[in-house]
Amino acid sequence: MSTRSTVILGTGSYAPERILSNDDLAHMVDTSDEWIRTRTGIRERRIAAPDQAASDLAVPAARRALEDAGLTPADIDLLVVATVTPDTPMPACACFVQQKLGVPTHSACFDLNAACSGFLYALDTACALLGSGRYRKALVIGVEKLSSVVDWQDRTTCVLFGDGAGAVVVGCSDEPGRGLLGTCLGSDGSSTELLCIPRGGSRAPSTCESIAARDHCIRMKGKEVFKLAVRGMDEAARDILEQHAVRADQISLVIPHQANLRIIEAISEYLELPMERFYVNVERFGNTSAASIPLALDEARRAGRIRPGDLVLLVAFGAGLTYGSALIRW
Ligand code: UT7
């Protein structure tokens, strides 16, 4: 086996300025701060400006990650963007990011959609490509402008989601035992309808009627997804720990997908790992899908919650239904 490992060289994040509080939402739909806080842990979320596309959120996050890594856009030859809310259906959000950031034209740039697990899929893809020796430095971004696909009249979903971006720069290292130790990705396509955007794709292109019915917006069967999310994230975490013969108590910090505080608390209980070992920012950002893990990772690092040598576990679950975990020796 090659000793070439892939390491995270820098992290960055960006959240749009506008804050939408639970009280603001209570003026829009029949809900309350109390209901949202007790059921989800969310207090507020960020909402992008109308003229900000996903790439406009991704670029400042990417700049911060590059600065953190001591690199420039010219150093990047692989750019992967995980998102379900690209600027346009075609071309890829990654191409807009490339142009705005000034990533060289010989770079490979593409989007990847694995919903809330998207960042872990993108990280795994980038690391595999770097490991192949065909690329040298990758920029991996998770970004969402979910406010553009939220049904603002549906109280069961509109209180949950927010906008944001997180990015990491990944490179190779000859130091064995450091960096990305492994990933565990999976998907169960038998329950696609539990969390989806029903129309606007090739199966059912949008019509005036479907737009009036807001069928181009997120629909979720929350209760079912909740149970599957707890089970899926618990299993994904256990699988990666088992594969690497690591005990849960050896993990310094878990960065879970931030969908609901109660899901994170359930995983903490199942893994018998105290909540202090989990990084949580869902109260300030809500669920930002593919952006949630890299945004939390960047915050955790900058807050001094991750030190060299720490074992960090990333774990996600989302539409698809997709799931994933990653183990990193920092
Ligand atoms: O990112 C991918 C993963 N996504 C997730 O993991 C999300 C998973 N699901 C959840 O987080 C939770 O299921 C929700 C937060 C979405 C819902 O919480 P819940 O405890 O499962 O509530 P519920 O759907 O069972 O609804 C309970 C009640 C219902 O009223 P009735 O039928 O009991 O009279 C809902 O109509 O709460 C009502 N309700 C609300 N009330 C006030 C639903 N949404 C709201 C709301 N404000 N926003």
Measure the CA–CA gap between 112 and 92, rounded to whole angstroms: 9
Residues contacting ligand 1 via CB (< 6 Å): 31, 35-36, 39-40, 116, 155-156, 159, 222-223, 225-226, 229, 259-260, 263, 287, 317-318
Domains 5-176 and 180-329 share a fold: yes
- Helix axis angle, 292-302 to 54-69, nearest 10°: 30
pLDDT confidence of residue 188: 97
Residue boundaries of the structural domains of the chain: 5-176, 180-329
Q: In percent, how much of the chain has pLDDT > 70?
A: 99
Instruction: Count the helices and strands in the chain (H runs, E runs).
Output: 11, 13
The whole model's pTM is what? 0.97
What ligand 1 atom has the least distance to the C-alpha of 263?
6
Q: Domain spanning 180-329: which superfamily?
A: Thiolase/Chalcone synthase (3.40.47.10)
Distance from residue 156's CA to the centre of ligand 1 (Å)? 6
Across 97-116, average pLDDT: 98
To the query of whether residue 257 is one of the catalytic residues in this protein, the response is yes
Q: What are phi and psi of 276, to 5 degrees?
A: -65, -20
Q: Is 158 within 8 Å of 29 (Cβ atoms)?
A: yes
Cα-to-chain-centroid distance, residue 238? 20
Amino acid identity at 166: G
Across 5-15, average pLDDT: 97
Ligand 1 pocket test, pick from 40, 221, 226 with the greatest ligand atom count within 8 Å of Cβ, gives 226
Name the DSSP letter for residue 276.
Answer: G
Distance set, CA 53 to CA 28, 165, 189 (Å) = 23, 11, 29
Q: Nearest C-alpha to atom 44 of ligand 1 is from which residue?
A: 156
Q: Nearest C-alpha to atom 18 of ligand 1 is from which residue?
A: 39
Q: Nearest C-alpha to atom 14 of ligand 1 is from which residue?
A: 222
Q: Nearest C-alpha to atom 28 of ligand 1 is from which residue?
A: 156
Asked if residue 1 has pLDDT above 50, the reply is no
For the chain, give the mean pLDDT.
Answer: 97
* Cβ neighbours around 134 below 10 Å, total: 10
Q: Nearest C-alpha to atom 39 of ligand 1 is from which residue?
A: 156
Measure the CA–CA gap between 43 and 211, rounded to whole angstroms: 29
Q: Is 292 within 8 Å of 120 (Cβ atoms)?
A: no
In the beta sheet, which residues pair with residue 110? 80
Tell me whether the omega of the peptide bond preceding residue 16 falls within 30 degrees of 0, making it cis.
no
Ligand 1 pocket test, pick from 39, 40, 85 with the greatest ligand atom count within 8 Å of Cβ, gives 39
Q: Is 30 within 8 Å of 191 (Cβ atoms)?
A: no
CATH fold for domain 5-176: Peroxisomal Thiolase; Chain A, domain 1 (3.40.47)
Measure the CA–CA gap between 256 and 111, rounded to whole angstroms: 22
To the query of whether residue 287 is one of the catalytic residues in this protein, the response is yes
* Cβ neighbours around 156 below 10 Å, total: 14
In the beta sheet, which residues pair with residue 244? none
Please tell me which residue in 93, 109, 158, 257 is annotated as part of the active site: 257
Q: Is 254 within 8 Å of 273 (Cβ atoms)?
A: yes
Distance from residue 223's CA to the centre of ligand 1 (Å)? 7
| Residues in Cβ contact with 100 at an 8 Å cutoff, skipping those fewer than 6 apart | 55, 56, 59
Asked if residue 288 has pLDDT above 80, the reply is yes
Reference 80, options 138, 135, 120; nearest CA is: 138
Tell me whether the omega of the peptide bond preceding residue 321 falls within 30 degrees of 0, making it cis.
yes
pLDDT confidence of residue 175: 86
Please tell me which residue in 93, 95, 109, 116 is annotated as part of the active site: 116
Distance from residue 157's CA to the centre of ligand 1 (Å)? 8
pLDDT in tens, 129-185: 999 999 999 999 999 999 999 999 999 999 999 999 999 999 999 888 899 999 999
What ligand 1 atom has the least distance to the C-alpha of 225?
8
pLDDT confidence of residue 2: 52
Measure the CA–CA gap between 120 and 105, rounded to whole angstroms: 25
Q: Nearest C-alpha to atom 35 of ligand 1 is from which residue?
A: 156
> Terminus-to-terminus CA distance in the chain, angstroms?
21
